[in-house]
Amino acid sequence: MVRYLEYYLSVMRIAILQQLQYRIANYFFLFGMIAESIVYMVVWSTVAISKGGDVGGLSPGEFAAYFIVGIVVNNMSIGLSPYSWEWRVQRGLLSGELIYPIHPLHHDVAYYAGSNLVTTVLCIPIVAILAWLFNPILATNWYGVIVFFLSLLGAYLIDTLILSILGMITFWTTRVAGIYELLFALELLLSGRMIPLNIMPGWVQQIALYLPFQWTFYFPVESLIGNLSPNQLILGLGMQCVWIVIGIVGIKLIWRSGVRQYTAVGN
């Protein structure tokens, strides 16, 4: 465990140093991600005002809090894209990684953990400006803040594991784009990124309860806003642990089968 910890810290340091060298590029990347949340926030705040002050019990200030916190959650849960796995297989880059005494996923988890720290720090001034402009309403409590930080780690690991499982499909097919776009559409609707789940129909909320998506976005956001009871916070952390275990088991099964037939496609 000590060696793994040293490895993770070393890779994270490398990622942080690399990302600090490309601050302007990171800001352009951030603007693209933040624009999505701002659009949703403005749309739902406008709808709330037109409906007399709220939609599904949420006021414009509560929508502002939801989507502004969502910016932080989005930045902290970025993982390796399935397209990167596709590139590894097509170009034969995975061949060199197979000789390492450690699973390639460890590098991915450590690298993006360090990278996400940099992008999150860079987005803090933007979040502060948005908070000043839109007056978010939060009912944060101390235990919700603790759960929020724990849930960010859980959300990151779940996202990374799911995207890696999807990326490993390229052991059997050279293109993963179609499947990824389908998963992205489901995630957009059922994670709460576009529409807060508590204003969605009951049957949608029930479906989302048994899928991993809401535990990577809606749950971390709501834990900081203060809309969840202690029992709901514990349940959320438990569900994150369940999906992390499912993801690890899935990785192990797919990896063992996929590596046996791995061949590089490109040159």
Q: What is the pLDDT of residues 170-193, one digit of tens each?
A: 888 777 777 888 888 888 889 999
Q: Are 242 and 236 in contact (CB under 8 A)?
A: no
DSSP code of residue 135:
-
Per-residue pLDDT averaged across 54-83, rounded?
88
- Cα angle value 99/103/106 (rounded, 5°): 130
Cα–Cα distance between 100 and 28 in angstroms, integer? 34
Per-residue pLDDT averaged across 99-125, rounded?
89
Within the chain, residue ranges assigned H as helices are 2-20, 23-50, 60-76, 82-91, 93-97, 104-134, 142-167, 177-190, 202-209, 218-225, 230-260
CA 124, 22, 42, 213 torsion-angle sign: negative
Cα–Cα distance between 78 and 50 in angstroms, integer? 34
pTM over 0.85: yes
Amino acid 21: pLDDT: 84
CA 180, 183, 184, 185 torsion-angle sign: positive
Q: What is the pLDDT of residues 15-48, one digit of tens each?
A: 999 888 887 777 777 787 788 888 999 898 888 8
